[in-house]
């Protein structure tokens, strides 16, 4: 059986390591502060923000959520960002994506004070990532690297295939793997013979957002598989095809009315991989954990400058 890479375990380790750092900051005058800017009523974003708030409470980080209505303009959100940039008690600002279509999200991200960019998406942060300089790393890719490191899975000298080229995951994940001396291939929907390219990977990072797209033919035996995708599948026929009619899986589907599924076929990965991240419970928990790491690091840096 392949090794299951438990993101919840890694998340808990990270939280335990953060607690004394936060206690030290509190002893020096104040706890770290994180502000989340949320525009509209996206249900997935609402859940994500609630989880961030809960994690902040667990750790002793002050959290604040600035909500703006679905009808908000770019200028209104920019004004909110300006106010947060000026507040000394706020160490990190997270702009929750996606935003409504009338909002120019790139302008919003550019308006962030770079030292408070705890999502690692400001051009200054991306530049530091490319150059290999210290700075906040995009949270999900940073979580991927933590899983590999803490499970002692070698990266240097390995062939890594990243499927997906998003600014949030694919591109920064490829860069982080490259910095750890992997030979990296980045793939996307236009890559010819994608299964053959993926089979070259000792490490495969799947970040396409297409449930169960990466089947057994995409994986070489013994590959380490990192599944970033999370899709809520509500079509029973689709779930039945993917789980090959498994009575246990279909009973769970019928109980909930849906199943969360990654980009990697959940049965094929068990047959082919040497280690893999499950969905849910793999990469997902690390995204918020690394946001907390970035927030605490920002607070420490700002405290040293005081």
* Those residues with Cβ within 8 angstroms of residue 74's Cβ, 6 or more apart along the chain or in another chain: 102, 103, 104, 107, 108
Average pLDDT of the chain, as a whole number: 94
- pLDDT, position 306: 62
Question: Helix, strand, coil shares of the chain as percentages rounded to 5?
Answer: 45, 15, 35
Kindly write down the DSSP assignment for every residue of 188-227, as one continuous string.
-TT-TTHHHHHTT-SEEEE-S--TT-B-GGG--TT-EEEE
**Mean pLDDT, to the nearest integer, of 104-116?**
94
Query: Which residues share a beta bridge with 214?
Result: 264
pLDDT in tens, 247-296: 888 888 899 999 999 999 999 999 999 999 999 999 999 999 999 999 99
Residue 175 predicted with pLDDT over 80:
yes
Locate CATH 3.40.50.10860 in the chain: 29-125
CA 278, 187, 125 angle in degrees (round to 5)? 80
Fill in the DSSP letter of residue 2: P
Candidates 15, 91, 96, 117; catalytic one: 96
- Residue 52 annotated among the catalytic residues of the structure: yes
pLDDT in tens, 132-142: 999 999 999 99
Residue that the structure tokens 């062939």 belong to: 159
Q: What's the first-to-final CA gap in the chain, in angstroms?
A: 52
Locate CATH 3.40.50.720 in the chain: 139-284
Residue 227 predicted with pLDDT over 90:
yes
CATH topology of domain 29-125: Rossmann fold (3.40.50)
Query: Nearest Cα to 52, choosing from 233, 303, 263, 294?
Result: 294
Residue 185 predicted with pLDDT over 70:
yes
CATH topology of domain 139-284: Rossmann fold (3.40.50)
Q: pLDDT band for 221, please (50, 70, 90 cuts).
A: very high
Tokens read off for 39: 């525009």
Candidates 15, 91, 116, 119; catalytic one: 119
- Residue 82 annotated among the catalytic residues of the structure: no
- Residue 91 annotated among the catalytic residues of the structure: no
In the chain, the percentage of residues whose pLDDT exceeds 90 is: 84
Whether the predicted model's global pTM rises above the 0.95 cut: no
pLDDT in tens, 42-66: 887 888 888 999 999 999 999 999 9
Candidates 52, 116, 158, 171; catalytic one: 52
Q: pLDDT band for 111, please (50, 70, 90 cuts).
A: very high
């Amino acid at each position: 059986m392949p090794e299951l890479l438990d993101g919840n375990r890694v998340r808990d380790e990270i939280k335990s390591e953060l607690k004394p750092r936060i206690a030290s900051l509190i002893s020096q005058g104040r706890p770290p502060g994180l502000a989340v800017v949320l525009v509209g009523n996206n249900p997935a974003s609402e859940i994500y923000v609630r989880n961030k708030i809960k994690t902040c409470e667990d750790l002793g980080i002050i959290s604040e959520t600035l909500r703006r209505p679905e009808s908000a303009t770019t200028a209104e959100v920019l004004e909110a960002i300006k106010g947060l940039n000026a507040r000394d008690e706020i160490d990190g600002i997270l702009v929750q994506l996606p935003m409504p279509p009338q909002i120019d999200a790139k302008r919003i991200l550019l308006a962030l004070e770079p030292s408070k960019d705890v999502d690692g998406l400001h051009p200054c942060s991306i530049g530091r990532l490319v150059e290999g300089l210290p700075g906040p790393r995009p949270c999900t890719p940073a979580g991927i690297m933590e899983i590999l490191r803490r499970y002692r899975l070698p990266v240097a000298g390995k062939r890594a295939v990243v499927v997906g080229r998003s600014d949030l995951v694919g591109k920064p994940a490829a860069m982080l793997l490259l910095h750890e001396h992997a030979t990296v291939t980045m793939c996307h929907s236009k890559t010819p013979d994608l299964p053959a390219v993926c089979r070259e990977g000792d490490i495969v990072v799947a970040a396409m957002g297409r449930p169960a797209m990466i089947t057994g033919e995409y994986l070489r035996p013994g590959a380490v598989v990192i599944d970033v995708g999370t899709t809520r599948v509500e079509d029973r026929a689709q779930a039945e095809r993917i789980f090959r009619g498994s009575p246990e899986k279909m009973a769970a589907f019928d109980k909930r009315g849906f199943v969360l599924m990654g980009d990697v076929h959940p049965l094929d990965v068990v047959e082919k991989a040497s280690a893999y991240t499950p969905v849910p419970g793999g990469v997902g928990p690390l995204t918020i954990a690394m946001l907390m790491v970035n927030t605490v690091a920002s607070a420490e840096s700002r405290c040293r400058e005081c």
